[in-house]
Amino acid sequence: MKRRRFRELGIASSGFEAGPANAITDVAGVRVGQITLIKGKGALKPGKGPVRTGITVILPHGGNLYQEKVRAAVHTINGFGKAVGFEQVREVGLIESPIALTNTLNVGLVMDALVQHAIRRNPEIRSFNAVVGETNDGYLNDIQGRHVKAEHVWKAIDMASSGVVEEGAVGAGTGTVCFGWKGGIGTASRVIPGALGSFRLGALVQSNFGRPSDLMIGGARVGRLIKPEVQRDRTREGSVMIVLATDAPLDARQLGRLCVRAGAGLARTGANFSHGSGDFVIAFSTANRIPQAPMARIGKIDMLMDEAPVIDGLFQAVIESVEEAVLNSLTCTETMVGRDGHTAQALPLELLLDILRREGLET
Amino acid sequence: MKRRRFRELGIASSGFEAGPANAITDVAGVRVGQITLIKGKGALKPGKGPVRTGITVILPHGGNLYQEKVRAAVHTINGFGKAVGFEQVREVGLIESPIALTNTLNVGLVMDALVQHAIRRNPEIRSFNAVVGETNDGYLNDIQGRHVKAEHVWKAIDMASSGVVEEGAVGAGTGTVCFGWKGGIGTASRVIPGALGSFRLGALVQSNFGRPSDLMIGGARVGRLIKPEVQRDRTREGSVMIVLATDAPLDARQLGRLCVRAGAGLARTGANFSHGSGDFVIAFSTANRIPQAPMARIGKIDMLMDEAPVIDGLFQAVIESVEEAVLNSLTCTETMVGRDGHTAQALPLELLLDILRREGLET
Amino acid sequence: MKRRRFRELGIASSGFEAGPANAITDVAGVRVGQITLIKGKGALKPGKGPVRTGITVILPHGGNLYQEKVRAAVHTINGFGKAVGFEQVREVGLIESPIALTNTLNVGLVMDALVQHAIRRNPEIRSFNAVVGETNDGYLNDIQGRHVKAEHVWKAIDMASSGVVEEGAVGAGTGTVCFGWKGGIGTASRVIPGALGSFRLGALVQSNFGRPSDLMIGGARVGRLIKPEVQRDRTREGSVMIVLATDAPLDARQLGRLCVRAGAGLARTGANFSHGSGDFVIAFSTANRIPQAPMARIGKIDMLMDEAPVIDGLFQAVIESVEEAVLNSLTCTETMVGRDGHTAQALPLELLLDILRREGLET
Amino acid sequence: MKRRRFRELGIASSGFEAGPANAITDVAGVRVGQITLIKGKGALKPGKGPVRTGITVILPHGGNLYQEKVRAAVHTINGFGKAVGFEQVREVGLIESPIALTNTLNVGLVMDALVQHAIRRNPEIRSFNAVVGETNDGYLNDIQGRHVKAEHVWKAIDMASSGVVEEGAVGAGTGTVCFGWKGGIGTASRVIPGALGSFRLGALVQSNFGRPSDLMIGGARVGRLIKPEVQRDRTREGSVMIVLATDAPLDARQLGRLCVRAGAGLARTGANFSHGSGDFVIAFSTANRIPQAPMARIGKIDMLMDEAPVIDGLFQAVIESVEEAVLNSLTCTETMVGRDGHTAQALPLELLLDILRREGLET
């Protein structure tokens, strides 16, 4: 069966409607760019290859992010990771950088690439808060090689676009493993019902977490019924990065509340938040742009009232989008063979459908 | 069908073995005491009744807790609640008080009752950090009446015992509502396999959260198939208190990591962590007792290494125990009629079994 | 020399101008009410007396605080304390209660008094987040007696007024000790210069911290030159509560940044933030009122831009106000004799002036 | 007058004794290595120079830090900075990397250099948590040039030694400015009195913060009396990194408590923690080494009891060491002329002595 997005399997869905692309790019202005690096095969030669990695960038809008920042929050579910830029986002509640996802040992180089990019666009710059997340693709990839170079980052930014987002073994998801299967990039979105304001919320994940036996899909304990042929305890190197975007006018505190709910979406896929898993969430709102050099001391800001029921709608949208984004990362990807012949099998869709049918989950 | 604990329904379980009582009291030394207050019926007369509330206390050990403290941590999933004592637990990583659960407006009186109790046992005391949690039972109970008095708290402490814990509409769970059904007190435990150290972990919950449509049991979306006859959006007054106990030698930082995983257990029952829900976790370890007046400046402390795989075992135990404790709170309770004839129906076990059988979850 | 406020000693001051009352009440709408409880003398009879305690309440405005909340933040410098209401303030960024200050063992009763008060004013209420802070006055006061009763709290709220705030051994400061001297309530304010927006910021402290040798005034190491006759290590029971008010339109994140700077003000008086000291800060802004039941989903909120230099002005105002409020608590109070003849001497103003003159600090 | 350390000016000191080198290296095993980069003069040519920057590394011990980690904590006073590695330190309470200090835009490259260094020493490594801090030296330095290269980082690590630490305009302090004067690297230490355990505590700072008028030395408001000839508002680019080391057996929670007190030390020099200042603290204890691959599941750990008075001694030692380290950074440095002729004058010691003598602070 051809690889496809989860909802194209015909599984009964529920909850809110997805946006037109069912992707983080359903939030107007958000762009995604990805570079996939696949090179060589066979035995690992540290620093040489084989290469199974990449870069994924998420841009909150198409303008100059340093000059026009967006409100943002970050949240750490389990901090065993190397995310960069979190301290300043916590303090000022703003993101001024593309959000870049890469592999664990490549974070420094990607951070530097974002700094160089910001300098080129803003020649006067002397301070810049790059935001980078990572997961560990060392099971398939020559991770010590740090093969994502500045040029890849810049190209990913340049080619970033709205609309359809490629999923599976692409970009920063090229070499990741999720519940023992091939994971990768996944995305999904929800539209809050009109009575609650018609806001949109999208999630993008880089999935690299979970033990085979824990996988749950639509409530079905799939991981107990099918397991990848080659099993390996991925627990202690797993991780997941989650990026949330919305056009609802939220401030940093409210965006932080959204981040917390992303963990509930993960949990519904079977996540245990294991010791060695760096599980991080980054959320931003496109509703208010905050200039680097504000014209006035006081701004008139649109702000969603927490007491309005819409905030619970957004919470639900986060949970649904994150869960579906993880599933998309699993169902869209092909099998990947990496270094030393290490293989991450694609979750077999026929078997999956059988299981879900048996559990009455098919439409 | 007679009310019973979830696993007595014959549903296939998985994961770790439960402890002998499948209760928080499986952790040696832990005691639970509960007083249930049910009085009157009919129209709400604020300050008079009807009364549907109570008190549940958890004692980390049977000695003098102020003199021999236990290591502890607290965690806030969603802070819309009135929990007391959290600041000091965060700072010193210790609990020196019984942990008391009650209703939202009764926290002050219960806190004062714990202070009085500590004074009586420790006549020299001038500072004492009472720990109190709450959920809102105002749908069934005359919550403004603050009917839990000091005598109830003291009696609950005095009668606290190890062994079987009463579940359902008892103690602080007398008037709570969970996924639209009658909730209450629930508990469960797990034994980490011998290869990982045979540690025990137990959870106790006061369940008062969730929308009817969101209820998930063993992955089955039960809430979409059966709903209570009288429905009401409980979202905005819901809450849940979770208490975790273990005999693994964890420090405050590690106990904090356990707390975070409690949220994953909740999420698997369908929790959305809604805006008005105060969702809090308290965890303690019985392994090291820390004296109020230490004999030596430096103690030799047993401490679990995070790198040892056992920490992931404990995380899994938390998730499983919390999930099952919530289910026990639902399956053990009887229907409760409260003020103004408000009714929280017991989750109908026959219907539930039908659903779970259909999904192949029965043993 | 008659007791007086610090700047009435003629010490050269610097920094921003104080507001008209040099008090937290310079922020329009803010009210303070205090009840002082002094009864009996001689030997401590726990539960009977002598009584040297009280209650201080700060009201962000004169209306119904539950119906019209104010933006707020809390911050814990050292968490060895029993502050109440912090979790919900952190989550929703709002205060809906008078802020009450009392003694350590009286927090439960004061919390309950605030709940009762809220019920009376809002008969429909089922959830209410009382905010209470405390320090330990057990050196002078029969602290086990918990002599602050609900009536005292209610009376303090009823009599709360704008304008001059009584300082020294009054209200919640009746029995406190600071740097070995009699401490108490102190307040101060600053007006941010017009070019930065003419905002006002006020601080009120309940001072009960510090070792005699550490006292610094205007930079002078006063504590090394004069010491109270009766010395006692107050370190391990000390604490301080700080309340900040401003009319600048800040959100919860920004108010949290103000709270952090309060610690710098304390440090300039010699604070060490000792192990047993509960050092907490609560800040609110009167600029935007947030209704319990908002009319619209989205509000137009005034918000100060962090990038505008005014935020640094507010930080400086916090530091200056907190420092001066602590000094006022020391210079305004009379000597207090409490239980068991325990005495907290008033800081002798003549000696203090001599020292400050020698250091060239006099105007 | 020849540049010298603050206490060599003959100012009366007080508090605890300093260690033999009055430096962070007084904590046995701790090593410091620095590379100073000074090249070119005249007009700024971004990417070319002039160069006024460098790297300072602090090694908790001389062994393989990845294989034998140390307990650690981090703390953010004001998060407007680009510190790297904080999330994982918070989660696991360990540092496994040299702590590197550099300039704001150089963090990515330095992070990558630490990763490369760890790979060389540990060929099996697939995950590594580099710890990097920074301040902004862009007033003197061609900061966009990111002139600190991997070779500089590695050389600084290789040459790191115990004993005397060079201070002033060296290493990561080469181009920094503090209270309008030339700042830089400073260090100091304290020995806790024998009755409290004879533990040692050392601080190292990279000082780059503060407005000229705010400088306080020994309580004297020096900044109001002397000001640098060339004044510039440094506030909005300032920052400070503080590293604390101790041989007291503290866990991560306790080390976090030490970090909080570093802010009090800063405040006594006049710090305002301004909006654009990234003020961060990193603390570690050398007392327990935690292996990457522990032999046993449970370790016997030495742990200081919080209740023992020694914790307050450590707090005091932090405050004193941080204050003196900042002063040393000011009194040790020479004047530095940087890009575009920008000049950071050395604080004139004769004038300073005059002021301190007038205030009676000379010995």
Candidate list C97, C277, C321, C329, residue with the active-site label: C277
Touching check for A111 and chain D: CB below 8 Å?
yes
Q: Indicate the residue of B260, B275, B360 with minimum beta-carbon distance to A306.
A: B275
Q: State the catalytic residues of A.
A: 239, 277, 279
Q: How confident is the model at residue C75 (pLDDT cuts 50, 70, 90)?
A: very high
Kindly report the number of other CB atoms within 10 A of residue D64's CB atom: 13
Q: Is A4 helix (H, G, I), strand (E, B) or coil?
A: coil
> Helix-strand-coil percent breakdown of chain D, rounded to 5?
30, 30, 40
Contact between D108 and A111 using a beta-carbon 8 Å cutoff: yes
Q: For residue A235, what is the DSSP state?
A: G
Chain D hits for C80, Cβ within 8 Å: none
Mutate: best of B260, B303, B311, B314, partner D, most D CBs <10 A: B303
Mean pLDDT of B301-318: 90
Q: Look up B97 and say whether it is catalytic.
A: no
Task: Yes or no: say if B157 and B119 are a contact pair by the CB < 8 Å rule.
Answer: no
Contact between D105 and A128 using a beta-carbon 8 Å cutoff: yes
Cα angle: C288, vertex C293, C298; to 5 degrees? 60
Touching check for A305 and chain B: CB below 8 Å?
no
Distance in Å, alpha carbon of D81 to nearest chain A alpha carbon = 6
Tokens of D261: 């007190």
Distance in Å, alpha carbon of C309 to nearest chain B alpha carbon = 32
Which residue is closest to C80 within chain B, CA to CA? B88
Mutate: best of D97, D105, D142, D277, partner A, most A CBs <10 A: D105
Q: How confident is the model at residue D235 (pLDDT cuts 50, 70, 90)?
A: very low
Q: Indicate the residue of C90, C111, C237 with minimum beta-carbon distance to B111.
A: C111
Name the strand (E) or helix (H) holding A91.
helix A86-92
Q: Is the pLDDT of residue C359 over 80?
A: no
Short-list A231, A238, A221, A316, CA closest to A273: A238
Q: What is the pLDDT, as a whole number, of residue A235?
A: 47
Candidate list D97, D279, D321, D329, residue with the active-site label: D279
Touching check for A274 and chain B: CB below 8 Å?
yes
Low-confidence ranges of chain A (pLDDT < 70): 231-237, 362-363
The dihedral built from the CA positions of residue C42, C46, C50 and C52, taken in this order, carries a sign that is positive
Which residue is closest to C91 within chain B, CA to CA? B79
Q: Look up B161 and say whether it is catalytic.
A: no
Touching check for A290 and chain C: CB below 8 Å?
yes
Q: How confident is the model at residue B92 (pLDDT cuts 50, 70, 90)?
A: very high
Name the neighbours of B, counting chains with at least 3 Cβ pairs within 8 A.
A, C, D
Q: Which of B343-347, C356-360, D197-201 has the lowest mean pLDDT?
A: C356-360
Q: What is the pLDDT, as a whole number, of residue D358?
A: 82
Q: Look up D189 and say whether it is catalytic.
A: no
Task: Yes or no: say if C233 and C261 are a contact pair by the CB < 8 Å rule.
Answer: no
Kindly report the number of other CB atoms within 10 A of residue A225's CB atom: 15
Q: How confident is the model at residue C235 (pLDDT cuts 50, 70, 90)?
A: very low
Tokens of B84: 């007391």
B222-256 pLDDT, tens digit each: 999 999 987 665 445 689 999 999 999 999 999 99
Touching check for B297 and chain D: CB below 8 Å?
yes
Touching check for D148 and chain A: CB below 8 Å?
no
Candidate list C26, C142, C214, C279, residue with the active-site label: C279
Touching check for B96 and chain D: CB below 8 Å?
no
DSSP per residue over A94-157, as a string? EE-S-EEEEEGGGHHHHHHHHHHHHHHH-TT-S----EEEEE--TTTS-GGG----HHHHHHHH
Candidate list B97, B162, B189, B277, residue with the active-site label: B277
User: What is the average pLDDT value for chain B, to the nearest integer?
Assistant: 94
Contact between C272 and D315 using a beta-carbon 8 Å cutoff: yes
Percent of chain D with pLDDT over 90: 86
Q: Indicate the residue of C249, C294, C308 with minimum beta-carbon distance to A294.
A: C308
Pairing of strands C185-191, C200-208: antiparallel
pLDDT greater at residue B11 or residue B78: B78
Highest mean pLDDT out of A144-158, C188-202, D183-197: A144-158
Task: Yes or no: say if C108 and C150 are a contact pair by the CB < 8 Å rule.
Answer: no
Contact between D87 and A115 using a beta-carbon 8 Å cutoff: no
Mean pLDDT of B125-137: 97
Distance in Å, alpha carbon of D167 to nearest chain C alpha carbon = 26
Chain D hits for B291, Cβ within 8 Å: 307
Mean pLDDT of B101-105: 98
Strand ranges of the sheet holding D278-291, from the earlier edge strand across to the other edge: D94-95, D68-79, D278-291, D239-246, D200-208, D185-191
Q: What is the pLDDT, as a whole number, of residue B362?
A: 64
Mean pLDDT of C21-33: 98
D114-138 pLDDT, tens digit each: 999 999 999 999 999 999 999 999 9
Tokens of B69: 């403290």
Touching check for B307 and chain D: CB below 8 Å?
yes
Distance in Å, alpha carbon of B303 to nearest chain D alpha carbon = 5
Touching check for B261 and chain A: CB below 8 Å?
yes
Q: Give every CB contact of residue B213 below 8 A, 6+ residues apart in sequence.
A: B223, B224, B227
Q: What is the pLDDT, as a whole number, of residue B348?
A: 97
CA-CA distances (angstroms) from residue C167 to B294, C32, C132, C270?
A: 39, 11, 19, 20
| Radius of gyration of chain C from its Cα atoms, rounded to whole angstroms | 19
Q: Indicate the residue of A219, A275, A312 with minimum beta-carbon distance to B274.
A: A312
Touching check for A219 and chain B: CB below 8 Å?
yes
Cα–Cα distance, D308 to D325 (Å, whole number): 27
Cα–Cα distance, A186 to A169 (Å, whole number): 9
Is the complex ipTM higher than 0.85?
yes
Touching check for B222 and chain A: CB below 8 Å?
no
The dihedral built from the CA positions of residue C1, C5, C6 and C11, taken in this order, carries a sign that is negative
Tokens of D159: 């040459």
Task: Yes or no: say if A256 and A283 are a contact pair by the CB < 8 Å rule.
Answer: yes
Contact between C264 and D266 using a beta-carbon 8 Å cutoff: yes
Short-list B201, B224, B213, B216, CA closest to B317: B201
Which residue is closest to B316 within chain A, CA to CA? A272
Touching check for D241 and chain C: CB below 8 Å?
no
Candidate list D97, D189, D207, D277, residue with the active-site label: D277
Q: What is the pLDDT, as a whole number, of residue C13?
A: 74
Q: Indicate the residue of B92, B252, B308 with minimum beta-carbon distance to D294.
A: B308
Q: Return the amino acid letter for C89.
A: V
pLDDT greater at residue C230 or residue D263: D263
Distance in Å, alpha carbon of B260 to nearest chain A alpha carbon = 7
Q: What is the pLDDT, as a whole number, of residue D282?
A: 98
Touching check for B318 and chain A: CB below 8 Å?
no
Cα–Cα distance, B208 to B135 (Å, whole number): 6
Touching check for C295 and chain A: CB below 8 Å?
no
CA-CA distances (angstroms) from residue C350 to C228, C266, C331?
A: 14, 24, 11
Chain D hits for B196, Cβ within 8 Å: 297
Kindly report the number of other CB atoms within 10 A of residue B1's CB atom: 11
Distance in Å, alpha carbon of B220 to nearest chain A alpha carbon = 6
Q: Give every CB contact of residue A24 below 8 A, 6+ residues apart in sequence.
A: A30, A32, A58, A165, A187, A189, A202, A203, A204, A243, A244, A245
Contact between B292 and D307 using a beta-carbon 8 Å cutoff: yes
Touching check for B235 and chain A: CB below 8 Å?
yes
Residue D4 class from Cβ within 10 Å (0-12 exposed, 13-18 middle, 19+ buried)?
middle
Q: Indicate the residue of C236, C264, C266 with minimum beta-carbon distance to D272.
A: C264
Touching check for D301 and chain B: CB below 8 Å?
yes
Mean pLDDT of C228-234: 67
Q: What is the pLDDT, as a whole number, of residue B236?
A: 55
Chain B hits for A304, Cβ within 8 Å: none
Short-list A347, A339, A340, CA closest to A38: A339
Q: Which of B177-191, D162-176, D307-321 has the lowest mean pLDDT?
A: D307-321
Candidate list D162, D189, D207, D239, residue with the active-site label: D239
| pTM of the predicted model as reported, rounded to 2 decimal places | 0.97
CA-CA distances (angstroms) from residue D188 to B174, C184, D341, D348?
A: 60, 36, 32, 21
Task: Yes or no: say if A40 and A178 are a contact pair by the CB < 8 Å rule.
Answer: no
Touching check for B112 and chain C: CB below 8 Å?
yes
Task: Yes or no: say if A67 and A128 are a contact pair by the CB < 8 Å rule.
Answer: no
Strand partners, C242: C205, C281
Q: Return the amino acid letter for A125.
A: I
Which residue is closest to D306 within chain C, CA to CA? C275
Contact between D304 and B298 using a beta-carbon 8 Å cutoff: yes
Q: Is the pLDDT of residue B56 over 90?
A: yes
Task: Yes or no: say if C25 and C57 are a contact pair by the CB < 8 Å rule.
Answer: no
Candidate list B239, B274, B321, B329, residue with the active-site label: B239
Q: How confident is the model at residue B358 (pLDDT cuts 50, 70, 90)?
A: confident
